[in-house]
Structure 1
Amino acid sequence: MAAQSAYSVHFGTDHREFLSEALPVGDRWLNWRNLDDHRIRAAVCWPFQGVLFDVEANAFWPASWGEKPKDEDARRRVVEARVGLWPQLVPLYGHRYLPADPHGTRAPVLSVYQTDVIVYGDDLLDYLHHEFRPGEHSHATRITASLLPPWTLFAFGHDIP
């Protein structure tokens, strides 16, 4: 898919199948057919930028990362190195994200706002019902903190490695 190359993302199985059937556009949907869209580029960078913001503005610094450097550039390098090892998140809608391949099918949908991460759907179908048909989300979540660390660790309030 051309969008994967243009934006350096790897759509997960569910995300790819969804986009092959429908490409919702408007409001907070992204038009993946537009191969030079600043909104998509910003959305792809959003999870990293959010972690970096919390490091700089909200005193976020996991103990497992060692001593926090005093220099802003050094802190950024540590964040880049650490977050660069985490599973890539691909924008779905607004600040809702799906994990990139190779997660497989039935990947969780996460709401990502800085280091505030919430499981918004056990999978894409559950998310669509939850977001766009609120009364239909009634079963207990199957997602655990260990499913997509460290993103789901945030969601469950655990320490970040």
Structure 2
Amino acid sequence: MNIPSNLTEFLYWAKERTEKLWSVNNENCPKGFYGARWQPLSEEQIAQIEQQYAVSFTIEHKEFLKILHAIDKKEIVEYEDDDELIAEECTFFYNWLENEEEITDQIKYNYEGIWNDVTSVNHVWLKSWGIKPKSIEKRKGIFDEWFSKLPQLLPVRNLSCVVSNENLKWNPVICIRGSDIVILGWDFRSYLLYELRKHLNIYTDVYDEELGMFYQEFVDEVQNIFDENFKYDEIKDIPYLKEMILYWSSGWKGFGLNYYPENVKGIRPIVRTYIAEEEK
């Protein structure tokens, strides 16, 4: 397969590979993608977007925007509701020229989703915040100060956001579901391999003799990239947000850490790594 390691070369490789798959209307082309083409941005457009949204894209993110960015089709998502099959058109990757409402809503959700987990759903309280105050106003003051220190979290697709901080050696892409935050890739290349996995033909069919059926797994080259990308590295960090990611056991794997001993089998529930002392 020879997946390029250079980001620019990889982005052109992904562009060619996805558009080729989308050019043929058969069972391999996901619903809604037939004839889809990427819509790159110019450097001038990127500069205008940064000014409009008061954001700063990383070098990797800018390269992605200049070569891929978004597509000119809608993804068709199907699901059942009361035994009725529903099909909805959804935005694939956010288009910074057209999806202003969706992008701003996602930016707001990053704040509101975590805050909701602090106040009601999961009663999250980080160790670094100290003893939880009884007053909701004081809690919000502590939370707002913490949130103001986070790197910019720039939407890229659905709940996925780029951690925008050029002072970091690694520039991860994360998925934010309230306080449950997971790392999808420590660089754009690994993230896109994950996000475009159904569009890049990077699977191989493996036969399970015990079950008598085929299943798909990543080809060795892709799996090796993921394994290398998620290796433990003590310098991997996301300022202030790392503690929130490690609050749930689901986030540990992203840092190459095992919350449970390797010999533990079965379902591993999401558990809190720290529960603050409640006010009395």
TM-score higher than 0.5: yes
Which of structures 1 and 2 has the bigger CA Rg? 2
Matched, 1:123 2:208: no
The CA deviation string for residues 120-140 of structure 1, in whole angstroms up to 9 with x for no partner, is: 113111111112226254131
Distance 1:151 1:142 in 2: 19
Shift of 1:62: 1.2
The CA deviation string for residues 21-58 of structure 1, in whole angstroms up to 9 with x for no partner, is: 22214424211124x82211111223222220110111
Would the aligned equivalents of 1:61 and 1:68 in 2 still touch at CA under 8 Å?
yes
How many pairs were matched up?
158
Amino acid at match of 1:99: V
Counterpart of 1:71 in structure 2 is: 135
Alignment of 1:97-136 (within 5 A): 97-103=161-167, 107-133=171-197, 135=218
Would the aligned equivalents of 1:99 and 1:108 in 2 still touch at CA under 8 Å?
yes
Amino acid at match of 2:164: A
Matched, 1:42 2:105: yes
TM-score, normalised relative to structure 1: 0.83
* Structure (1 or 2) with the greater helix fraction: 1
| 5+ residue gaps, structure 1 | none
Local SS of the residue matching 2:223 = coil
Alignment of 1:10-89 (within 5 A): 10-25=56-71, 26=74, 27-34=91-98, 37-57=100-120, 58-89=122-153
Shift of 1:111: 1.3
| 5+ residue gaps, structure 2 | 1-46, 75-90, 199-217, 246-250, 253-258, 260-272, 275-280
Local SS of the residue matching 2:161 = strand
Amino acid at match of 2:193: H
Would the aligned equivalents of 1:144 and 1:152 in 2 still touch at CA under 8 Å?
no
Counterparts in 2 of 1:124 and 1:86: CA distance versus 1, 3 Å: same
Shift of 1:143: 5.8
Distance 1:37 1:16 in 2: 18
TM-score, normalised relative to structure 2: 0.50
Amino acid at match of 1:65: W
Counterparts in 2 of 1:88 and 1:128: CA distance versus 1, 3 Å: same
Distance 1:15 1:150 in 2: 21
Distance 1:143 1:118 in 2: 15
Counterparts in 2 of 1:71 and 1:44: CA distance versus 1, 3 Å: same
* Structure (1 or 2) with the greater strand fraction: 2
Q: Which has the higher contact order (CA 8 A, sep 6+)?
A: 1
Shift of 1:144: 4.6
The RMSD of aligned alpha carbons is 2.5
